[in-house]
Structure 1
Amino acid sequence: MKFIRKNIFNALFIIILLVIVLVPDAKAFLIKGLMEIGFYSPKVENPKEIVTSLNGIQFKDINGNVIDLGDLKGKVIFLNFWATWCPPCRAEMPSINKLYTQFKDDKHIVFIFADADGDFAKSGKFMADHKYAMPVCKVESEIPEKVFAGALPTTVIFDKQGRLSFRHEGVANYADKKIVDFLNKLKNTK
């Protein structure tokens, strides 16, 4: 009897482990839970780096409008690279949506959510299905490696002068008070 019970528990453990590894929503759910208990808190103490120029770094929104980061000087830019198939991206989306909702009407902060796949149909459906209000863009130019080296998710924040003030690869809780305070500090700095 003990042998059978032990095998049942082992089989259940392996099934749960496989579900977490193979099902993106299950992995995202686990990561989101870890975010809520304090893991994945982003550090905002990164030094400011100069990116040669933001001019020419372009994104296209769902309506075909081209956004050039060089044209956004004088605004704080929150830029997130993500993909619908990426479990860590999916896990951090609720916190990013909360942050976006808090600042979306602030004329001093611009949010760009760059779908790494550039598939507006897929990413738009994802946003609608999850009731996220964030506008989706796709990359339209070369992106300097200092900004995006290919890891998903990657989030960068530029200050009003176009300096790279924050860069984080991997999942993070962007609804964290440290990020809200950081964005407020950047937008109020000349």
Structure 2
Amino acid sequence: MANKNLKKYISNGVFILVIAVLLFVPSAKALLIQGLMEVGLFNPSIEKEKPLNNPTLQLSFKDQAGKTITLNELKGKVVFINFWATWCPPCLAEMPSINKLYEKYKSNSDVVFLLIDADSNFEKSLAYMKARSYALPVYQMNSSVPEQLFAGSLPTTIVFDKQGRLSFKHEGAANYNSKKFVEFIGQLRDSTN
């Protein structure tokens, strides 16, 4: 009887430990979310976005070398922007899928990726990218962002078409390497209007 109770206590302790790890260790939570992405959950919903009330082409971004680029300068290209942070488990969970999408389009000059470090800590974000062998381009905002684009929820991903129109916005983790999303980016890239 004592042996049966001991097994029960051990199994309960292990269960509580697993729950605690998932709650308090960001990389463990990210790993769980990644697993759920692999089975088909967290696919982004691709719907036509409503036009913005004010022009957003004034957005400015800065890379770690201090070089700035504006959204206006990227007109004529599809622009994939992801707001993320190294402490954010859903951000970390979707990063492998963003990296795979980036690998598919990195040699295509008509598609640009901007990963916006919400912490404004280049050292930390670049160390994260380097540790995982990601070549994703990390930027910081160099201007204010309209709330209709980014209201502070991490991760947030937005995509602009070649004319600078908002074509996609998603808050929360998603698998950006899904067949449907890869095709969506390809359609925007090949679009002439």
SS at match of 2:90: helix
SS in structure 1 at match of 2:69: strand
1:53 Cα deviation (Å)?
Answer: 1.5
1:120-143: per-residue Cα shift (whole Å, max 9, x none)? 111111100010010110011100
Counterpart of 2:84? Answer: 82
Residue in structure 2 matched with residue 40 of structure 1 by the alignment: 42
Report the equivalent of 2:139. Answer: 137
Amino acid paired to 1:19? V
Aligned-pair distance for 1:48? 4.3
Number of paired residues? 190
State, as a whole percentage, how many aligned pairs show the same letter: 52
2:16 counterpart SS class: helix
In structure 1, runs of 5+ residues without a counterpart are none
2: CA distance between counterparts of 1:9 and 1:128? 38
More divergent stretch after superposition (51-60 vs 71-80): 51-60
Q: Which residue of 1 aligns with 2:165?
A: 163
SS across alignment from 2:44: coil
Partner amino acid, structure 1, of 2:123: A
**Structure 1, 38-47 or 140-149: larger mean CA deviation:** 38-47
In 2, the alpha carbon distance for the partners of 1:39 and 1:150 equals 23
Going from structure 1 to structure 2, the CA distance change for 1:124 and 1:51 (only over 3 Å counts) comes to farther
Q: Aligned runs of 1:112-123 on 2, under 5 Å?
A: 112-123=114-125
Q: Within 5 A, what are the aligned runs for 1:103-118? A: 103-118=105-120
**Aligned-partner SS, 2:145:** coil
Q: Is the 8 A contact 2:56 2:146 kept in 1?
A: no
CA distance in 1, matches of 2:109, 2:85: 26
Deviations 1:49-69 (A, max 9, x none): 235223321110111110111
C-alpha contact 1:50 1:162 (8 A) present in aligned 2: no
Q: For 1:139-154, list aligned pairs within 5 A.
A: 139-154=141-156
Under a length normalisation based on structure 1, what TM-score does the superposition of the two structures give? 0.96
Q: Of 167, 188, 191, which residue of structure 2 is paired with 1:189?
A: 191
1:66 alignment partner in structure 2? 68
Tell me, in whole angstroms, the C-alpha distance in 2 between the residues paired with 1:74 and 1:50: 18
Looking at structure 1, the residues matched to 101 and 146 of structure 2 have their Cα atoms a distance apart, in angstroms, of 25
Q: How does 1:3-42 map to 2 (within 5 A)?
A: 3-42=5-44
**Maintained 8 Å contact 2:49/2:169:** no
RMSD of aligned residue pairs (Cα, Å)? 1.1
Q: Distance in 1 between matches of 2:66 and 2:104?
A: 26
- Give yes or no for contact 1:82–1:116 (8 Å, CA) kept in 2: yes
Paired residues of 2:117 and 2:125 also in contact (CA < 8 A): yes
